A and B are shown apart, each in its own frame.
Chain A
Amino acid sequence: MRAALERYESPLTHYAARMLNGDVERARDVVQDTFLKLWTADRASVDGHLGQWLYRVCRNRALDVCKKEMRMTALTETQLSMQADSRSEADRHDAAPTCASAFAAMQTLPQRQQEVIRLKFQGGLSYREIANVMDLTVTHVGVLIHTGLKAIREKMIASGTGPSRVPQSEVIQ
């Protein structure tokens, strides 16, 4: 159990924070709740796919929180404007053409592509697991990751920092 906490605490918090427009405090709450769930969960339902389980529970939690927040923003002006401020880079991806790293490039992608990429490369989940977490088909996940990686590569090349096209001769060996 502790190992699970160690392994997934930080990735999940990052993930939840992304889902929650960068709100780390709330992300921590979500992650804490996720692990509380894990403590009381039926072992059989978790064993063998811990990562997938955690990400899924975490995601559902975060979405719950998002939904609530949306309701509240409808009620209070302050919150509304706060939320507008905290809108993540995801919604501003047109505005940031230069990308110092693959990571920065990723952050310019649409939310969903970012999410699959995070699940893949941070969470280490397989396509199928990602599909289960996000309620998508495996094919859809494949397309999202493919498109995402391609976009990242192109953005990096455009900004001159990315891996340039590898000479073909190197590839062959």
Chain B
Amino acid sequence: MVYEKPLPVINEDNAPYWEYCRSHELRMQKCTDCGYVRFPVSIVCPKCNSMAAEWTPLSGKGRVYSYVVYHMAYHPSYKGDIPYIVAIIQLDEGPRMESNITDCKTEDVRIDMPVEVYFDDVTEDISLPKFRPAA
């Protein structure tokens, strides 16, 4: 089946992030000068402006910081998905990221709910990090 939903726009800067996702690893850039783990991907550290960084592995565990439930399909490919959850996840290592929370009824999601990452292989090249309630 052809995947018709919009895909992330991959560029020179964020390609490593998506490569790690493809191998089911959640990694983000950690500044090797000040230790800050940053997201989204950037060539400079927003804390110290250092350009030195390494791709550090993350546990994929975190909590819901905020969430919304889409009741309108802004793109035809989402018609079958509404209502769906979009959330900001506070990762244990510090950064936050946006993603979907699945395997959870829309009325059951709560702020501070523990969640964990899994990877949804939506195409041959793209695996999306998504979250579900922690076991």
Asked if A and B bind, the verdict is no
